[in-house]
Amino acid sequence: MSLPKPLQDVVNALSRLPGIGPKTASRLAFFLWRAPQEVSVELANALMALKREITTCPRCFHLMASGQEACDICLDTNRQREMICVVEEPLDVIAIERSGAYRGLYHVLQGVLSPIEGVSPQDLRIAELIQRLEQEPVREVILATNPSLEGEATAMYLRQRLQPFGVKLTRLARGLPVGGDLEYTDPNTLLRALLGRQEMGDGEG
């Protein structure tokens, strides 16, 4: 027995979200159908506002509210502006901020190198990172990509591109689980990884 089309459309839409399979999507769709109308309206309005009122910072490419000059972190005059922590996604910024161990600036690549998926250096915010090193008084760049094959390859590529600038290049300590994501790492582990970060030498890679 097939579901009525409006309900099936909701199931199909929810199934496209990461981590949500057909069964979970069906449960959520039935919950929304049974819930008071204001629940669905509130969700729909929040999703519309998400697309309409959230954009990326033109400096670091973290998330910010539309209409701002830059994100709150870039505008914070109390941050250590000589340090840039390079991460894959905005969720990684949130994870590192939760650890409380870092007070510098960020640069969000918006992905990692992945030849299999056709992601090349031109698809990431690498050119913008290089431009920042040319224009800002940066002394240290922390390469905080995930400890996955793609994350390690991206870090090695960045090391090669950034070495000519003479900045200190460091990598998070190996306390992070191989293949894991920063966004799922507990704050204490991230704290130790940041405090124990190691300089990337010429022999790495």
Where in the chain are the domains? Answer: 5-54, 63-199
pLDDT over 90 (residue 25): yes
CATH number of 5-54: 1.10.8.420
Confidence (pLDDT) at 186:
66
CA torsion through residues 79, 152, 187, 108, sign: positive
Cβ distance 85 to 144 under 8 Å? yes
CA 78 to the chain's CA centroid: 22
pLDDT single digits (tens) 153-202:
999 999 999 999 999 999 986 655 555 567 766 677 777 677 767 787 65
Q: pTM for this one?
A: 0.79
CA separation for the pair 93, 133 (Å, rounded):
19
Between strands 54-56 and 63-65, the pairing is: antiparallel
**CATH number of the domain at 63-199, out of 3.20.20.140, 3.20.20.30, 3.40.1360.10, 3.40.50.720?**
3.40.1360.10
pLDDT single digits (tens) 66-81:
999 999 999 999 999 9
pLDDT over 50 (residue 14): yes
pLDDT over 50 (residue 205): no
Confidence (pLDDT) at 148:
86
Say what percent of the chain tops pLDDT 90: 75
Cβ distance 57 to 82 under 8 Å? no
pLDDT over 60 (residue 24): yes
Q: Where are the beta strands (DSSP E) in 5-124?
A: 54-56, 63-65, 80-87, 104-108
